[in-house]
Amino acid sequence: MSSIATVLEETVSQIRFCVDDVELAKNLLPVNDALPQLEEKLGRNIITFSHEKSLKLIVDAYVHPLAHAVHSAFSDHRPLVLTPDIIWITIAQGFAQHVNNNAEKLRSHFVQHEGKQKLVVEILEIPKSGQRWSDLIQDWTLQIRDHVGADLYRLIECTFSTTTPITQTVSHIVMMDTFQQYFDYEMRGICGIPDITLMGTVDDWQDIYTRVQSIAQYDLGWWTNRVLPICREFVKTASGNPSLSFWQAIYKPKKIYGGELITGWLAELFPYLKYSVTEIPSVRNPILSIARVDLTVDDGISPKSIPIGLSQVPVTFILPNNKYNLELVAGFLGVCQNEGGELKPEIGWALRQKEGWELKPELGWALQIQGDRFAELLNKIQREHITQVPIDWTKFEFGFDSVPKEIVQLLDRFNGATLFADSGHSWKISKYNNTFSDTCTMYKIAWSDQLNYQLNYHDKRVTNLIDLEDGRCIAYNSVSIIVLGDLVLRSDASDNEICQFELENVVIIAKSIPDLFERILQAKGEYYFDDPNFENIQ
């Protein structure tokens, strides 16, 4: 039977006793600041620390501190202190290692789900205090408890007479470690708007509601049905009854908060989003097809997909001997900030010169040609793609009177070209040999109710412009609308008829020849019209 050690001191909460008959060490071990030691051990900076920065520890031996303490006490004849927390944390960490090493074998003992579930805590800002971090850590472990049960939660948590807030938080982190094969731990920042000033009278906002009702008749019900409830809330707010839940949901509602996507009702004010290839707002906003109550974090829209907020209108400036193109630009210029820090979108307008023209105020309204955007595109094609020599105009005495000026401009640079030749999606621009009427190929567009609505009878005869690698053709009509279609031999064409072929499955892919080349280069040669999000251009 083992003998009982001599008790030196005993209370309800502790006992001190003799172990070995050795001479007690008289000197203290050297110590260093705890925080730098921990940072050196981890190889990175510490953001938050459980203890005061003044905490000092004996010089780290890079072994488990329990083993280090026992070794130093044994070797140097030093007294040792142990607590329930120290021993239980050691055991709990061993339990965590076992669960992590046998996660799938033990899964059914702890959770009912497969894979990992996300456990999320929400914060307004990154916590600055250790106490706040402890609260967040407990939030995670309480969510673990909901899955593994209260018994396992209590099994791992330190709740001893010696337990401090620090050791309890440590036990919570050990618990997170134990079940990390079943859960991912996420902390999401919840941002917010301190206050909003809604200007305007009740009548102003009621007027907007009525206007939205009016535009619904133009095949816009799919949009206005979502905008009208928003307008009703504006009226209520202007009447002195702002709904807190409505305004908190303007950008990222709490229940679908996360990531960089806009999930709030702000997204519903934009019926069309930018098509990724052309940057033109032609794609219906997908969020409008999902009931707001069914929206998830992944259903939001990217801020970069929203149109830039500027309306652009071409204006023709006519002088006695010349005609020039300008453009009116209006809408949202940017965001203003007042001295109080309030932010407000600023509305304004401008008149700009079209690319290729420079306004000379000192000459009144005179304009000077600088080379237009289409010329820049043609220059880029000549630099980066395979082009043929320019056309020899001396061989063309007639036939070009009705040719679009852009085709003439193109032929001045090159007569025939292949864009993105080795890409698997090349674009072969037609070449002309004699008179235009002899060498250009004309097609008839196959009947289509949609195209019949968009094109008149004469527009349905089109001229070949580009052959694609997959056999499809791109052609333009008399007003330079660009179409794409499958080339087929007409069964009803007579031998002397100009259009021996017709285009089937036709879609409008650009509004002009320059627009087509702009899209081709923006898409880096990809057949942009094959994208599932591409919509027939109106």
pLDDT of residue 442: 60
pTM metric for this prediction? 0.49
Q: Residue 191 pLDDT more than 70?
A: yes
Same domain for 295 and 162: no
- 245 within domain boundaries: yes
Distances (CA, A) of 125 to 196, 256, 323: 20, 18, 58
Helix (H) or strand (E) holding 223: helix 221-238
Three-state secondary structure readout of 427-470: EEECCCCCCHHHHCCEEEECCCHHHHHHCCCHHHEEEEEEEECC
Q: How many Å apart are CA 86 and CA 70, to the nearest integer?
A: 12
Distances (CA, A) of 296 to 113, 114, 257, 260, 263: 21, 21, 9, 13, 8
- 195 within domain boundaries: no
Note down the domain range covering 389.
Answer: 375-530
pLDDT of residue 501: 64
Which are the contacts of 157, defined by CB distance < 8 A and separation ≥ 6?
A: 141, 168, 171, 172, 175
- 379 within domain boundaries: yes
| 74-85 pLDDT, tens digit each | 999 999 999 999
Q: Residue 258 pLDDT more than 60?
A: no
CB 479 within 8 A of CB 507: no
Q: How many Å apart are CA 240 and CA 120, to the nearest integer?
A: 36
- 316 within domain boundaries: yes
How high is the mean pLDDT of the chain? 82
- 74 within domain boundaries: yes
Q: Which residue has the higher pLDDT, 311 or 233?
A: 233
Last residue of one domain, picked from the residues 189, 224, 239: 189
Same domain for 151 and 89: yes
- Fill in the amino acid letter for 275: Y
Q: How many Å apart are CA 60 and CA 34, to the nearest integer?
A: 9
Per-residue pLDDT band for 315 (boundaries 50, 70, 90) equals confident
Residue 188's φ and ψ, nearest 5 degrees, are -110, 130
Last residue of one domain, picked from the residues 306, 333, 357: 306
| 53-67, 103-117, 322-336, 432-446: the lowest-pLDDT one | 432-446
Q: How many Å apart are CA 99 and CA 82, to the nearest integer?
A: 26
Same domain for 136 and 96: yes
CB 238 within 8 A of CB 205: yes
331-352: average pLDDT = 88
Same domain for 523 and 379: yes
What 3-state DSSP class applies to 361? Answer: helix
Same domain for 246 and 214: yes
Same domain for 406 and 350: no
The CA R_g of the chain, rounded to the nearest whole Å, is 37
Same domain for 168 and 302: no
Q: Residue 345 pLDDT more than 70?
A: yes
Q: How many Å apart are CA 474 and CA 465, to the nearest integer?
A: 6
Same domain for 72 and 57: yes
| 62-75 pLDDT, tens digit each | 788 889 889 999 99
- 325 within domain boundaries: yes
Domain count, the chain: 5
Per-residue pLDDT band for 437 (boundaries 50, 70, 90) equals very low
| 141-157 pLDDT, tens digit each | 999 999 999 999 999 99
| 492-505 pLDDT, tens digit each | 555 555 455 677 78
Q: Residue 256 pLDDT more than 70?
A: no
- 194 within domain boundaries: no
| 409-431 pLDDT, tens digit each | 888 888 899 999 988 899 999 88
- 536 within domain boundaries: no
Same domain for 389 and 288: no
pLDDT of residue 262: 85
| 108-112, 329-333, 372-376, 524-528: the lowest-pLDDT one | 372-376
pLDDT of residue 457: 45
| 236-250, 252-266, 367-381: the lowest-pLDDT one | 367-381
pLDDT of residue 410: 87
Same domain for 506 and 407: yes
Per-residue pLDDT band for 483 (boundaries 50, 70, 90) equals confident
pLDDT of residue 354: 64
Same domain for 473 and 382: yes
What's the CATH number where 440 sits?
3.40.1580
pLDDT of residue 211: 94
Q: How many Å apart are CA 205 and CA 199, to the nearest integer?
A: 10
Same domain for 497 and 364: no
Last residue of one domain, picked from the residues 189, 213, 244: 189
